[in-house]
Amino acid sequence: MLMTSQTRQIAVIGSSGSIGQNALDVIINSHGTLNAILLSVHKSTDILAQQILQIAHTINQPKNKQNNTITTTITTTKTDTHHLTLPRWVVVTDLLADRSPLERLPFEIISAVKIVYGYEALCELVREPEIDIVLSAVSGCVGLNITWSALDAGKCVALANKESLVSGGSLITELALKKGGKLIPVDSEHSAILQALQTWRMNHYPTQLINHTDNLTHHKEPPITTSSAICPDTNCIDQKKDRGNYCNENNYGLSARGAVNKIILTASGGPFRQLSQEELNNVTVADALRHPTWRMGSKITIDSATLMNKAFEIIEARWFFDLCSDEIGVLIHPQSIIHSMVEFIDGSTIAQLSQPDMRIPISLALHYPDRFELRTVSVNWQEKVLLEFYPPDLERFPAIKLGFKIADTAGTTGVVVNASNETAVAAFLNGKLPFHDIVTVCNAVLENHNFEQSPTLSRLFELDNWARKETEKWISH
């Protein structure tokens, strides 16, 4: 049952993408608890125009069935609740995108929606005071600047763009702490961990991380107490020392630490789970795009086939929950019903189960800490439900080793591997790189880079650029 009393104004960044479209579905069906105040795409102006029309149609349906006019009243205050309104801003970041689908929109819409072009404008707009939650759901490292800008303005960020934490985990989490910005996971695994921790002891969850709802709900949570972590690995102890900032009353990380043994990320294993090394050498783009359980954008689908997606999720978990790498485990679970688990020190494990449907973690992130009714299909427990688990094969899927390595060393390793992987995946999709070389080139570029422990944001972008060029060189040789 919904507990919030006001409509949350959501900026959907990447609305034309797989996460963005699911988010819009959640918002449109939220009965006014959520409203899309900003939509952004890169170049898919046709999808953006359709989304605006869809919102206008939804507004129109219950209110003005008789005269069939479009309601274009823009909600300007948070007290004007329970109304879906047209977005106040729509942003197209690619300056060369075809503008005609937006220009063809009816006059009532064009006069009510501000159409803005350019990436810099988007980074500025996410700071607008009327925005409650920025859903950061673009693909790629471009998301880092958007997430950064929103957190810098003290916003709550529902984070789907895992590249933000993979590339800039240390800077992003420090910024959130400094500016009072919040991060809520959208990725299903991290959402599952959040849900498992919620059940452990509500008031022990890292409220600074997620308590953006202060002004939206009536929840009052007590201050966090931090229990000390026992971290047997020396490297981890060092890391923990370095992360001393988090271990005080502003603890950004896992305040359940003392009670948690480890978190276990599940992975479907992708379409190639059962292929031999030799067979992996011959897979095609079409094979790799055929994910067995999830429907997602093409980049993340390829990452799921190499298991680089799981490597990124290890790094994401390390930053979301302030964990050492030996507190994170990975299990192959082909059915994608258990989305991840938390193993506690008393032998209990709490898991979150559902059909694979991204609307569930998206809705939770946008309504957090409440839940809202969704038209999803639950797991049918009357039927035989098979839940299998296997350890990942690190030889056939070396990306997992790479993920743990980056979670351990942090610094500039994440940005380099992310950029290299983005370039390699694009080359694979264009038929210029065999599948098995995607992780090979990432490892080679990583080895070749000058490691820095504490890079600045601009240094991260320089290295992102460098790693892309290095990867292209490697591919063309």
Q: Which does 254 bind (CB under 5 to 8 A by kind): Mg ion, ligand NDP, none?
A: none
Is there a contact between 253 and 210 (Cβ–Cβ < 8 Å)? no
Vertex 353, ends 351 and 355: CA angle to 5°? 160
Output 160 or 254, the one with its CB closest to ligand NDP.
Answer: 160
Q: Which does 148 bind (CB under 5 to 8 A by kind): Mg ion, ligand NDP, none?
A: none
Q: Which does 163 bind (CB under 5 to 8 A by kind): Mg ion, ligand NDP, none?
A: ligand NDP
Q: Which does 392 bind (CB under 5 to 8 A by kind): Mg ion, ligand NDP, none?
A: none
Output 7 or 167, the one with its CB closest to ligand NDP.
Answer: 167
CB of 138 to ligand NDP, least distance (A): 4
Is there a contact between 281 and 433 (Cβ–Cβ < 8 Å)? no
Backbone φ and ψ for 26, nearest 5 degrees, come out as: -60, -45
Please give the size of the binding site for Mg ion, defined by CB under 5 A.
Answer: 3
CB of 51 to ligand NDP, least distance (A): 10
Output 132 or 163, the one with its CB closest to ligand NDP.
Answer: 163
Residues at the interface with ligand NDP (CB under 6 A) = 14-20, 41-44, 93, 119, 137-140, 142, 160-163, 187, 294, 296-297, 299-300, 358
CB of 385 to ligand NDP, least distance (A): 22
> Scanning residues 61 to 100, which ones bind Mg ion (CB under 5 A)?
none
Q: Which does 317 bind (CB under 5 to 8 A by kind): ligand NDP, Mg ion, none?
A: none
Distances, alpha carbon 118 to alpha carbons 91, 93, 114, 162, in Å:
7, 4, 13, 22
Q: Which does 226 bind (CB under 5 to 8 A by kind): ligand NDP, Mg ion, none?
A: none
Output 57 or 295, the one with its CB closest to ligand NDP.
Answer: 295
CB of 330 to ligand NDP, least distance (A): 16
Output 34 or 426, the one with its CB closest to ligand NDP.
Answer: 426
- Specify the residue for token string 């919620």: 198
Q: Report how far residue 394's alpha carbon sits from residue 402's, in angstroms, rounded to the nearest whole number.
A: 10
Q: Report how far residue 175's alpha carbon sits from residue 321's, in angstroms, rounded to the nearest whole number.
A: 15
Q: Which does 408 bind (CB under 5 to 8 A by kind): Mg ion, ligand NDP, none?
A: none
Question: In the structure encoding, which two tokens stand for residue 391, read together?
Answer: 């350890």
Is there a contact between 189 and 161 (Cβ–Cβ < 8 Å)? no
CB of 371 to Mg ion, least distance (A): 20
Q: Which does 161 bind (CB under 5 to 8 A by kind): ligand NDP, Mg ion, none?
A: ligand NDP
CB of 379 to ligand NDP, least distance (A): 19
CB of 419 to ligand NDP, least distance (A): 13
Output 137 or 324, the one with its CB closest to ligand NDP.
Answer: 137
> Scanning residues 291 to 350, which ones bind Mg ion (CB under 5 A)?
none
CB of 420 to ligand NDP, least distance (A): 16
Is there a contact between 406 and 417 (Cβ–Cβ < 8 Å)? yes
Sign, CA dihedral 6-112-144-163, equals: positive
Q: Which residues is 342 bridged to in the sheet?
A: 263, 350
Q: Which one-letter DSSP state was computed for residue 390?
A: B
Is there a contact between 22 and 34 (Cβ–Cβ < 8 Å)? no
CB of 22 to ligand NDP, least distance (A): 8
Selection from 263, 228, 224 nearest residue 350 by Cα: 263
Cis peptide before 369 (omega within 30 of 0): yes
CB of 24 to ligand NDP, least distance (A): 11
Output 71 or 306, the one with its CB closest to ligand NDP.
Answer: 306
Q: Report how far residue 350's alpha carbon sits from residue 147's, in angstroms, rounded to the nearest whole number.
A: 30
Is there a contact between 424 and 333 (Cβ–Cβ < 8 Å)? no
CA dihedral 450, 453, 457, 463 (to 10 degrees): 20
CB of 137 to ligand NDP, least distance (A): 5
Output 187 or 464, the one with its CB closest to Mg ion.
Answer: 187
Site string for Mg ion, 178-197 (x = CB under 5 A): ---------xxx--------
Output 182 or 299, the one with its CB closest to ligand NDP.
Answer: 299
Q: Which does 162 bind (CB under 5 to 8 A by kind): ligand NDP, Mg ion, none?
A: ligand NDP
Q: Which residue is nearest to ligand NDP (CB)?
A: 17
Output 93 or 471, the one with its CB closest to ligand NDP.
Answer: 93
Q: Which residues is 213 bridged to in the sheet?
A: none
Selection from 436, 438, 460, 442 nearest residue 405 by Cα: 442
| 3 state SS of 152 | helix
59: amino acid identity, one letter: I
Output 187 or 343, the one with its CB closest to Mg ion.
Answer: 187
- Specify the residue for token string 């351990």: 408
Site string for Mg ion, 438-457 (x = CB under 5 A): --------------------
Q: Give the CA count within 13 Å in the CB-facing half-sphere of 96.
A: 0
Contacts of 110 (CB under 8 A, 6+ apart): 102, 103
Q: Report how far residue 69's alpha carbon sits from residue 88's, in angstroms, rounded to the nearest whole number.
A: 19
End-to-end CA distance of the chain: 59
Contact set with Mg ion (CB under 5 A): 187-189
